Amino acid sequence: MDNKKYYHELTDKEYIEEIESQDVTYGDIVNRYKQPDWCTHPDALLGCLGCWTLVFSRKLINPERCKECECFKNLSGWTQDLPEHESNYWFIVIRLEQTNTNYILLL
């Protein structure tokens, strides 16, 4: 049974005691906490590689706010079709505006 607490449900006191006051990595956060049930992002709690709203604005997370996200899953089923991928890899294109160069980051 999974006894992990939801990251977005941490109180300010818990967040300060368990996250800010310790040497905690995003890997530690993934191991200690879970993401919302409606979130299908494969690694939502992995900092900049995860869901920025969840990681950096945890108190604002709720199903209503997330419902437009491509990773949102209504508990009764998908709210939208997700794009099919040929592999388990996610590709992110990072655009550097100054040089107009595109980089592909393989996660």
Is 85 part of any domain? Answer: no
Is 70 part of any domain? Answer: yes
Position 58, amino acid: R
- Average pLDDT value for residue range 76-88: 47
Is 86 part of any domain? Answer: no
pLDDT digits (tens, 9 = 90+) for 17-55: 888 878 888 889 989 999 999 999 988 999 888 999 998
What whole-number distance in Å separates Cα of residue 70 and Cα of residue 81? 8
Is 90 part of any domain? Answer: no
Is 107 part of any domain? Answer: no
Domain of residue 51: give its range.
1-78
Is 14 part of any domain? Answer: yes
Tokens 């209503």 map to which residue?
Answer: 64
Position 98, amino acid: Q
Residues linked to residue 33 through DSSP beta bridges, in sequence order:
5
What whole-number distance in Å separates Cα of residue 73 and Cα of residue 103? 30
Residues linked to residue 77 through DSSP beta bridges, in sequence order:
74
Task: Name the H helices within the chain.
Answer: 12-15, 26-32, 52-56, 63-66
- Average pLDDT value for residue range 56-75: 88
Q: What is the pLDDT of residue 24?
A: 86
pTM (predicted TM-score): 0.63
Residues linked to residue 93 through DSSP beta bridges, in sequence order:
104
Is 87 part of any domain? Answer: no
Domain count, the chain: 1
Is 97 part of any domain? Answer: no
What whole-number distance in Å separates Cα of residue 82 and Cα of residue 53? 20
